[in-house]
């Protein structure tokens, strides 16, 4: 059933949408042309660590602030109220923990993927298990991300939803495959600008329509949408202060701390200081986007509070609220509807392209590294993206269409898969006693446990109580209904439609646990099971030889370096000297090409060390 609206996109709206797709593809072609002489895997997947803080910070923001955020957050506020906004507090703890606990270890070890750490610390089988879990997680998530904006477009234009699904998947696959991580990062920068433009335009016009911020807040309060201090300790409560701050810290830490999509961007920067700066820049962006989307949800309620679109039959799912609002109230301001649709698709493209790039990296480096040994590095990466993940994500978009509200589905997936993985990494970085048997057992048991709870929730169709909905002031013209004198929440004979959860058969209490707790439960189960099994299979002599570089800085501080630590440090110092040497050689080559006119552009600290003078003197002519 299509959304009942008299308005549709015009040619200029389609033009904006087409330009966004064309620009994204063009960026991929541009970087493919620039990197045509450098086909190394490091250049393709990590940009040879030459990216800068600004683009990476924006790319980090775009990767998981997608169409799900733009459509799901306003719907969440409209249906369940403002309790959700406490999630913004969790962002501070997430960035702090990621910067100080997990990212320093990956940077010090110079791994290509976060899951290579699991092989170094534990065993190849633990690495493969973690990599497969990540692949399942991202393919499911990408399916939701593709389906959500396709649904939005189909509802506002009547455009076939599955054609829209295919267009997102194919465009993202195209520019990601040919342009590598540079194309992904720079299209992310463009797409986050598009998302902000569409979101801010919608918010400003929406507040104007409902009579200003004060009127919007008053109507939301009358409709019982304003709720901030639910301190209940009941784990079955969908959202409380504790679920949003404590539980979501684990959800988002599984993303910012260990997820390859984020770690890969961090490893594209040359120093740990740059990585930390990028993360801290990212935090206020996360908060402001979440807050803006939440205010949009309140604005939508102020517009539709007396005539709920779902109960009145105008939409078929609450995730369609935002596009309906845009078409009802922004249609007279061309090309704002087109900008909004383009912003939603930009969110989808940024997330899908980021996911494809990281999935390719994990597949090549962690899963199929031996099977594809005769393939060139770039061919292996492109093959995995085009054949496996582009098509697989399109297939899982079908599954996404039956998973319920997109925001809850997305966070639920990250909790069910990310929580156990976060527990395995925590085992390795904090506990010397942990061994590969404990890590494997902890991962397996916690994964089964959380999947059992999560799938029980979805299979039994557990529904949380919503805020009250009303249909007593429905008119054929939404703006006319908005301008009437009816008060939201007024009691009339025909008014409020009930939203109470109907009586239902007995459901196991575990299935009623809020989806926000899945990550923490998985994390805790993995650690407890992992420690018990590790103690039962303990090898004290092997523990003494675990390099301290495998542990987080706060633990490593109290440990003595092993011979492997010393050898790794010497190797890294040698690599740094070689980089400095090659940089100096490149400057001398430039000087020779400029007819001997040479100007030093390097700072003294960047020049090769004097201890290497004898070696470098003999190497000048051979390299020049």
CA distance 574 to 267: 19
Query: What's the mean pLDDT in 50-61?
Result: 87
pLDDT on residue 603: 45
Tell me what the mean pLDDT of segment 206-232 comes to: 92
User: Taking Cα atoms as reference points, which of 268, 271, 260 lies closest to residue 365?
Assistant: 260
What does the pLDDT read at residue 615?
47
- The single-letter DSSP state of residue 212 is S
The answer to whether the bond into 335 is cis (omega within 30° of 0) is yes
pLDDT in tens, 152-167: 667 666 667 777 777 7
At 613 the pLDDT is: 47
Residues 547-584 have pLDDT tens digits of: 888 999 998 888 777 777 677 777 767 776 776 776 67
CA 265 vs CA 55, 61, 363: distances in Å: 10, 11, 17
pLDDT at position 620 over 50: no
C-alpha distances in angstroms, 378 versus 36, 40, 270? 11, 7, 22
Cα–Cα dist 157/163, whole Å:
13
Higher pLDDT, 286 or 2: 286
Whole-number pLDDT of residue 598: 44
Q: Which residue has better confidence, 34 or 454?
A: 454
The whole-number pLDDT of residue 484 equals: 57
Q: What is the residue extent of each domain of the chain?
A: 11-36+52-410, 552-587
- Give the pLDDT band of residue 538 (cuts 50, 70, 90): very high
| Highest-pLDDT range among 334-338, 348-352, 551-555 | 551-555
| pLDDT value for 602 | 45
Q: What are the pLDDT digits (tens) for 167-215?
A: 777 787 777 777 778 888 888 888 888 888 888 888 998 899 889 999 9
Q: Residue 383's pLDDT is what?
A: 62
Tokens of 601: 């552009």
Please say if the pLDDT value at position 624 is more than 50: no
pLDDT of residue 115: 94
pLDDT (0 to 100) of residue 452: 93
In this prediction, residue 320 carries a pLDDT of 84
Residues 76-84 have a mean pLDDT of 94
Return the pLDDT at 338: 83
pLDDT of residue 236: 92
Q: Calculate mean pLDDT across residues 595-612.
A: 47
Please tell me the pTM assigned to this model: 0.82
Residue 44 has pLDDT above 70, yes or no: no
Between these two residues, 338 and 520, which has the higher pLDDT value? 520
pLDDT for 552 equals 94
Average of per-residue pLDDT values in the chain: 80
CATH for 11-36+52-410 is: 1.20.1730.10
* Other beta carbons within 10 Å of 126: 25
pLDDT at 493 over 50: no
Percentage above 90 pLDDT, the chain: 33
Residue 403 has pLDDT above 70, yes or no: no
19-33, 43-57, 542-556: range with highest mean pLDDT: 542-556
Give the C-alpha separation, 593 to 51, whole Å: 27
Q: Does 1 score more than 50 pLDDT?
A: no
Q: Identify whether the C-beta of residue 87 lies closer than 8 Å to the C-beta of residue 243.
A: no
- pLDDT tens across 421-442, in order? 999 999 999 999 999 999 999 9
pLDDT at 507: 82
The first and second tokens of residue 354, run together, are 């980021």
pLDDT at 579: 65
pLDDT score recorded for residue 536: 95
Place of tokens 């008119």: 475
Higher pLDDT, 111 or 29: 111
Query: For residue 486, what pLDDT band results from cuts at 50, 70 and 90?
Result: low
How much is the pLDDT for 487? 58
276 confidence band (pLDDT: 50, 70, 90): very high
Average pLDDT of the segment spanning 374-388: 61
Contact assessment for residue 377 and residue 40, using Cβ atoms and an 8 Å cutoff: yes
Beta bridge partners of residue 497, listed in sequence order:
469
Structure tokens at 55: 């683009």
Pairwise pLDDT comparison (374 vs 329), residue with the higher score: 329
């Amino acid at each position: 059933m299509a959304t009942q609206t008299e308005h549709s996109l015009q040619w200029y709206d389609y033009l904006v949408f087409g330009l966004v797709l064309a620009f994204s593809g063009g960026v991929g072609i541009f970087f493919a042309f620039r990197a045509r002489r450098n086909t190394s895997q490091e250049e393709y997947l990590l940009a040879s660590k030459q990216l800068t803080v600004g683009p990476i910070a924006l790319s980090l923001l775009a990767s998981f602030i997608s169409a799900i955020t733009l459509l799901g957050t306003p719907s969440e506020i409209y249906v369940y109220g403002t309790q959700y906004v406490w999630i913004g507090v969790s962002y501070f703890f997430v960035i702090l923990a990621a910067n100080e606990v997990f990212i320093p270890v990956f940077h010090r070890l110079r791994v290509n993927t976060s899951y290579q750490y699991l092989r170094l610390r534990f065993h190849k089988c633990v690495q493969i298990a973690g990599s497969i879990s990540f692949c399942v997680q991202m393919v499911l998530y990408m399916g939701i991300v593709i389906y959500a904006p396709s649904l939005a477009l189909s509802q506002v234009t009547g455009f076939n939803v599955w054609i829209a699904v295919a267009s997102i998947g194919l465009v993202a696959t195209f520019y990601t495959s040919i342009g590598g991580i540079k194309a992904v990062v720079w299209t992310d920068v463009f797409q986050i600008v598009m998302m902000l433009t569409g979101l801010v335009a919608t918010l400003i016009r929406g507040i104007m329509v409902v009579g200003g911020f004060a009127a919007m807040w008053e109507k939301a309060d009358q409709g019982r949408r304003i709720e901030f201090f639910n301190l209940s300790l009941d784990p079955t409560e969908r959202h409380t202060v504790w679920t949003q701050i404590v539980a979501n810290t684990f959800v988002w830490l599984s993303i910012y701390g260990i997820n390859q999509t984020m770690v890969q961007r961090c490893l594209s920067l040359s120093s740990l200081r740059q990585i930390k700066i990028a993360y801290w820049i990212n935090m206020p962006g996360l908060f402001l986007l979440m807050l803006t989307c939440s205010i949009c949800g309140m604005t939508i309620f102020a517009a539709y509070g007396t005539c709920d679109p779902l109960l009145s039959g105008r939409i078929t799912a609450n995730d369609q609220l935002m596009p309906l609002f845009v078409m009802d109230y922004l249609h007279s301001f061309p090309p704002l509807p087109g900008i909004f649709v383009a912003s939603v698709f930009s969110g989808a493209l940024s997330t899908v392209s980021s996911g494809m790039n990281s999935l390719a990296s994990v597949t090549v480096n962690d899963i199929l590294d031996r099977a594809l040994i005769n393939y060139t590095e770039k061919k292996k990466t492109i093959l995995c993206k085009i054949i496996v993940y582009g098509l697989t994500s399109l297939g899982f978009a079908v599954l996404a269409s039956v998973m319920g509200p997109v925001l809850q589905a997305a966070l639920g997936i990250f909790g069910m898969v990310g929580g156990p993985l976060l527990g395995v990494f925590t085992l390795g970085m904090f506990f010397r006693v942990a061994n590969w048997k404990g890590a494997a057992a902890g991962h397996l048991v916690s994964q089964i446990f959380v999947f059992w709870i999560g799938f029980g929730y979805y299979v039994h169709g557990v529904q949380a109580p919503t805020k009250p909905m009303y249909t007593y002031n429905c008119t054929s013209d939404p703006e006319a209904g908005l301008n009437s004198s009816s008060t939201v929440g007024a009691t009339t004979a025909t008014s409020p439609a009930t939203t109470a959860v109907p009586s239902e058969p007995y459901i196991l209490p575990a299935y009623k646990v809020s989806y926000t707790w899945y990550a923490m439960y998985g994390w805790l189960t993995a650690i407890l099971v992992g420690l018990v099994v590790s103690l039962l299979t303990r090898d004290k002599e092997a523990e003494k030889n675990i390099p301290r570089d495998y542990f987080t800085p706060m633990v490593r501080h109290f440990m003595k370096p092993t011979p492997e630590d010393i050898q790794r440090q010497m190797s890294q110092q040698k690599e740094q000297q070689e980089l400095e040497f090659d940089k100096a050689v490149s400057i001398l080559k430039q000087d020779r090409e400029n007819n001997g006119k040479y100007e030093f552009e390097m700072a003294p600290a960047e020049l090769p060390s004097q201890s290497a003078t004898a070696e470098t003197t003999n190497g000048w002519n051979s390299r020049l």
